[in-house]
A and B are shown apart, each in its own frame.
Chain A
Amino acid sequence: MIPAAPSTATTAPDPSGTVRAAVAETGASGSAGFTDAAAGRVGKRPSAFIVAAAITVSLLGLLPLGYVIVTGILTGWPTLSALVFRPRVGELLLNTVGLVVITVPLTAAIGVAAAWLVGRTSLPGRRVFAVLLATPLAVPAFVNSYGWVSAVPSLNGLWSGVLIATLSYFPLVYLPCAAAFRRLDPTVEEAAESLGSGAWGVFFRVILPQLRLPILGGALLVGLHLLSEYGAFAMIRFDTFTTAIVEQYRSTFNGPAATALAGVLVLLCLFLLIGESGARGRSRYARIGSGVARVTPRRSLGAFTPVGYLFLGGLFTLAIGVPFWSVIRWLAQGGATVWTEPVLVQALLQTVGYGLAGAVVTCLLAFPIAFLAVRYPSRLSRGLESVNYLTSSLPGIVTALALVTISIRFVQPLYQTTVLVIVTYLLMFLPRALVNLRAGLAQVPVGLEEAARSLGRHPVAAFLHVTTRFFAPSALAAGALVFLGIVTELTATLLLAPSGTRTLAIQFWSKVNDINYVGAAPYALLMIVLSLPVTYLLFARSRLTSTS
């Protein structure tokens, strides 16, 4: 599953020369750095309807966090401290923190190296690799884990977790960095050369610092994914906070211990968020001046070309080759019979249905916030954005726990309904949609709409006919990201879905739990197949917006 925080990169637009490297999409990097080229309604106030909608959605997002805090308070400090300060939690902390501390720098290094090889060298076949290296995003981490465990059954523990997580999540750093590489000003690097920096000096003193934003943003995403991931680590018997919360849930439903663990997990997420924000600093890496429209010449690797191939080829093989091969092997073993399960079609339809419905609802409800942020930037809009970003950083399991409890206690009719599931998806995936919608809106010149209005169109009509034209590709990307997240979502759906729900992820997981790996293979394949077009769409868009 790719829960909580947004995943792939699309770059923010460049209306007046301000470069916001690709992970503007993490949102909290925030409206602070965003140009106000598309704003400019000084004095004019936004429609009350829009503001109300934005505030309502954001408040909804506060529910899970509120639940954790309130339950914590209600449980009382003595019980809470007994549940939090015990050896088991220490074990989990060690595992989880160890995982993050090792995996994040590793993915960062691999992501940057891959982006450099693809973007700055003349390696033959680099264009193919450029696409291939984005595909691990189409394979959910738990399917990757399944593939690896099928190939190497004895995989378990921290280092296996690091391996699988790195292979699953490196595109989160690779994509923004690859996009950022394309936007770097070559004359700056030449200036460094003229000042005596050799190739390594230029890389570490000039290129890498300019990549700080995409690296940090990508690293944050990787960290948040690591904290939220369940299936992948459960399969290799590696206990993290999220796996422990799920186990607690299975034993006590929403007992205080589960919530206590959730509280610690939320703190870890907050820690990551603050860390990234601090490391980012006040950087505004504006491209100064208009710049010469020169493309950086590519470096030939010469004698090291085979090393480059080995690295990229090896990366691809491990990240995609192994899971694919395992899936194919199981499918071959299962033959045609595994495909004849009637549940398969039902699961496919349900997954697609939830994916589309969730995508549409999320984009629609993210729109008011994006609109406010771009057209009427203010403290309110920034606050709303930050709230949404924060709440979506919570792991899916916490959001699900919160909504389950709240719905049982207060909104019974919603309990175990599709609506609740969609609401959960909304909360989990809102920022993905938000950042893309915001980027799209920011690209639209306000002047156009006003021109349309001066020609007699009603403001709403002017908006629909003029702005949507520009804004549609971003909306599509936003929907695609949400769709991708929903298709691969596991834990929240498990908790909240109405009885009898069978999505691809749920079916896959139940087969795997019975160690029926053969039966699980068709579901794995279907999830990957559903995710691939979306992943390609995101990749294509990341190339497009970077050259705009």
Chain B
Amino acid sequence: MTDPGGAVGADTATGPSASVIELAGINKSFGGTRILEDIALSVPEGSRTVVVGSSGSGKTTLLRLISGFELPDSGTITVLGRTVAGPGVAVAAHRRGIGFVAQDGALFPHLTVGQNIAFGLGPALRGGTRRQRARAVSELLEMVSLKPDFAGRRPDELSGGQQQRVALARALARRPRVMLLDEPFSSLDAGLRAATRDIVAETLERSGITTVLVTHDQAEAMSFAHQLAVLRDGNLCQVGPPREVYWRPVDLFTARFLGDAVVLPATISVGFAACALGMVAVAPTSLRGDACIMLRPEQITVEHCEAGGADAAGALSCTGQVEAVDFYGPEVQLAVRLFASGAAAPGSPQNLGGTLVHVRQHGTMGTVVGSRVSLTARGTATAFAART
């Protein structure tokens, strides 16, 4: 069984090291408000980078800076080796050759799907024979898994997902080497989201296009990205492969942003931390003594530990009591109140003064409120300073 909390896996994009997009020292303010502060980012060729952050974090602005719709106050942006923004340089958006898919697709309402896609085709093909154009459009539609007869439809006849795909096809028409996507799946129904995402990822991968996507959805970010960049209040907290950022977040905010986090007070010693769940392995850190540790809920197993029926040899010590059970379909979420004084033998009365911990369990386990459970931590936790 793989160790989900283990060392950084080998899933990082390790393509050729040429970085297609380079941002250095980017600052941007609107009015008096600082939107982006000292951003540095590098996107390797052929990879997908996702910039994730909550609303207002500046991620859309970042994308617009790369695409050329805005210009940075300071710093440089280099795309494909060419400086497109920097001191004394400002290449207009329409000359950057960067594909852009807006949040709602932004299809031209006055054109059909086919005309939309053909819009980006070079002047040569735009003026070409009808057959050539139709063929190019069909190919592009196929690339995004749409039937060729879509070409005659109007944008307002399409569903959200279809519009997004047409927008992608339109952007792909110019065979860009770089593609920017602004929350492209946020307006889709949950069911459609994953499917569309996969199609888009596959299309971009096949074409070898370097992609930067911006979203506030963590699950989407992590599944799509080779490289994840977390943006908070205009600053990049952490940049790295998804696994690394998820398992080794740089601070508690990042940790909480990317998923549920169980934070417990602990005493750190070398390689281990003592907490309410017992001794837990902890990732290398310079912290010692009183601090806190972060575990992901999936690292904690829950087992019943009620008195009676268990022999001494196999009895588990109870660590807490279930206060609430939330049903989520395949899983249930348990709110477990830890005992104040750590593990205890089943049956013994205990002080319920410890931390409240949220953990998940398969729905088949049938745990009820009030039952006592034993929580065991697996894998490695991440240590943070006590105050965070």
A residues at B contact (CB < 8 Å):
185, 187-188, 190-198, 201-202, 205-206, 209-210, 212, 283-292
A289 touches B160 (CB 8 A): yes
B174 at the A/B interface (Cβ < 8 Å)?
Answer: yes
A190 touches B102 (CB 8 A): yes
A290 touches B93 (CB 8 A): no
1/0 per residue B93-120: CB within 8 Å of A?
1111111101111111111000000011
B120: A residues at CB distance < 8 A: 195-196
**A195 to B96 Cα, complex, angstroms:** 9
Question: Can you report 19 A-B residue pairs in the complex whose CB atoms are below 8 A from each other?
Answer: A185-B106, A190-B67, A192-B108, A192-B119, A194-B93, A194-B96, A194-B98, A194-B100, A196-B94, A196-B122, A198-B94, A209-B110, A212-B110, A285-B110, A286-B109, A286-B156, A288-B104, A288-B109, A292-B104
- Add 4 more A-B contacts to A191-B170, A193-B92 (CB < 8 A): A188-B108, A192-B119, A194-B171, A195-B119
B155 at the A/B interface (Cβ < 8 Å)?
Answer: yes
A198: B residues at CB distance < 8 A: 92, 94
B29: A residues at CB distance < 8 A: none
A210 touches B100 (CB 8 A): no
B167 at the A/B interface (Cβ < 8 Å)?
Answer: yes
Within B73-106, the residues touching A (CB, 8 Å) are 92-100, 102-106
Residue ID in chain B nearest A198 by CB atoms: B94
B57 at the A/B interface (Cβ < 8 Å)?
Answer: no
**A196 to B350 Cα, complex, angstroms:** 70
Residue ID in chain A nearest B99 by CB atoms: A194
A188 touches B119 (CB 8 A): no
B67 touches A292 (CB 8 A): no
B119 touches A205 (CB 8 A): yes
How close is B73's CB to chain A, nearest CB, in angstroms? 15
How close is B375's CB to chain A, nearest CB, in angstroms? 44
B103: A residues at CB distance < 8 A: 187, 292
Residue ID in chain A nearest B179 by CB atoms: A194
Chain B: number of interface residues, binned into ranges: 35 or more
How close is B253's CB to chain A, nearest CB, in angstroms? 26
B301: A residues at CB distance < 8 A: none
Please list the 9 inter-chain residue pairs (A to B) with the smallest Cβ-Cβ separation, ordered nearest first.
A289-B104, A194-B100, A195-B120, A187-B106, A191-B106, A209-B110, A193-B93, A187-B102, A286-B156
**A285 to B155 Cα, complex, angstroms:** 10
**A291 to B163 Cα, complex, angstroms:** 13
**A425 to B233 Cα, complex, angstroms:** 62
Within B175-226, the residues touching A (CB, 8 Å) are 180, 187
A195: B residues at CB distance < 8 A: 94, 119-120, 170-171, 173-174
Residue ID in chain B nearest A188 by CB atoms: B106
B98: A residues at CB distance < 8 A: 194
**A292 to B104 Cα, complex, angstroms:** 8
B67 touches A194 (CB 8 A): yes
Residues of B contacting A: mostly: loop
**A198 to B96 Cα, complex, angstroms:** 11
Q: For A187, A196, A290, which residue has the most chain B Cβ atoms within 10 angstroms?
A: A196
B68: A residues at CB distance < 8 A: 193-194
**A185 to B156 Cα, complex, angstroms:** 15
Residue ID in chain B nearest A282 by CB atoms: B154
A285 touches B102 (CB 8 A): no
Q: For A195, A205, A285, A290, which residue has the most chain B Cβ atoms within 10 angstroms?
A: A195
A288: B residues at CB distance < 8 A: 104-105, 107, 109, 155-156, 163
How close is B114's CB to chain A, nearest CB, in angstroms? 15
**A98 to B110 Cα, complex, angstroms:** 31
B163 touches A196 (CB 8 A): no
Residue ID in chain A nearest B109 by CB atoms: A285
B104 touches A194 (CB 8 A): no
B94: A residues at CB distance < 8 A: 193-198, 201-202
How close is A282's CB to chain B, nearest CB, in angstroms? 9
**A187 to B99 Cα, complex, angstroms:** 13
1/0 per residue B266-277: CB within 8 Å of A?
000000000000
- Contact A193-B69, Cβ < 8 Å, known A206-B108, A289-B160, A289-B163: yes
A209: B residues at CB distance < 8 A: 108, 110-111
- Contact A284-B156, Cβ < 8 Å, known A193-B69, A194-B98, A196-B120: yes
**A166 to B98 Cα, complex, angstroms:** 43
A210: B residues at CB distance < 8 A: 109-110
How close is A458's CB to chain B, nearest CB, in angstroms? 40
**A285 to B187 Cα, complex, angstroms:** 20
Q: For B92, B103, B106, B107, which residue has the most chain A Cβ atoms within 10 angstroms?
A: B106
Residue ID in chain A nearest B93 by CB atoms: A193
B174 touches A289 (CB 8 A): no
**A212 to B107 Cα, complex, angstroms:** 17
**A3 to B170 Cα, complex, angstroms:** 47
A191 touches B92 (CB 8 A): no
Residue ID in chain B nearest A197 by CB atoms: B94
Within B111-144, the residues touching A (CB, 8 Å) are 111, 119-120, 122
How close is A284's CB to chain B, nearest CB, in angstroms? 7
**A202 to B69 Cα, complex, angstroms:** 14
Q: For B108, B167, B171, B180, which residue has the most chain A Cβ atoms within 10 angstroms?
A: B108
How close is B70's CB to chain A, nearest CB, in angstroms? 9
B187 touches A289 (CB 8 A): yes
Out of A190, A197, A205, which one reaches B106, CB within 8 Å? A190
